[in-house]
Structure 1
Amino acid sequence: MISNFYAKHKAFLSIFLASVVMGGFLVFYISSNMVALVNYDPIWKKDFNETLDLVIKYYDISDHHLTTDTSSSSLLKDKYFLKQIQKEALGRMIDYKILTMELEKINPNWRELARIKIDNATLKIKEQEKFEEGVRTLYGMSFYEFERKVLMPQSQFEIVVEELKKQNKNYDEWLKSKKKKLSISIMVDGLEWREGEVAIK
């Protein structure tokens, strides 16, 4: 009976098993490439590594010979320090994720406002070529990347703060209340979400 059933439904069973295997692989691939979920909206490992690298450069800790390569012997000497940097980088990314989620509600025209802010900021740069060269030297990125990763988030932050001020609301208190309402999960080894912020285990 079983052999007859298998013979009749062989094609279907093969497709079903293949779907299960592929589904499992897809879930594993996605989960292994995520570092956090904010209301089921993922923060990807690639973006996290880029932000981590940016934070490291921002604090100018290259003298410590730290890299994002966890196999580096220098990292082992500064393991706790790196964890602090990871904590800050992920905390920033979660804040930014919340900002982008809420901006549409706060001001649907935020994209135009952000563009104006960025354009105004770049217009104030007297020597554009030297500035772009400095960005490449300090941050290892093009001006376009700098605009996307640094200037855009800063503009979004400013827009939210300005809109909240109109409502007599404090940004820190607003963000804190938003975090309490959101479901936030962290998948970075050694870090966890605790009492509304990223914490070291």
Structure 2
Amino acid sequence: MTRLILATSDLAGTMLRRAGQADIAIGFRPRFVWGALPSRAELASSLERRSAEHHDFGTHWLDVASRKHLAPVGDHSLSLLEFCDRCSSIELWADPRPNDQLVLVWLLDFLRPHRRILSKLVVVQTDVEIVAARGGAGLAQWRLPKLTMTDQRLELASRAWTRIHTAALLRPPGGRPVGHTAAPRGAHRTVRGASRSGNRSWRDRIANAGARR
């Protein structure tokens, strides 16, 4: 049975793999905070099975993964859904940085319709950056709370991603980065993870959404 970790940055994925937190750990590379936000079609394509559309490096979610580390499950051709389907458990680890919070809500919004995968998915939200454990044995010993994905939590994530994406589309050329844009109320607080208080706000809202179920 293969344990999978999905991390909201490629460096975090590498560190979690080296720490032995799972059988396979894969990080994501999107940089949402700076520059134009990709379209929903482009983002969805990056998570699909590899095809001729993925000839440019960085257009497929497994481009940065080492073949030997994927061997227990498959190869670089798999879609995110296919890969997850072959794993027994999935942990989605998220740093508190704004870009990581954007990647988190994007992935949760994408996975929301796929109940079989959600049934084995939990979110691990850190209060400090995973890279802070670089060079030490601390990361291997981390035992953080794991949040199951209830309907309320998924709805909150989808609502945040929709607002963020809408705000980015309305931003004029040369406007402020996504992480600093004047997004609709609630969306900005959701991704404001640069401070501990901002991270706790998102984490507590997600936790409370599950508690009210």
Q: How high is the TM-score relative to the length of structure 1?
A: 0.25
The structure with the largest alpha-carbon Rg is: 1
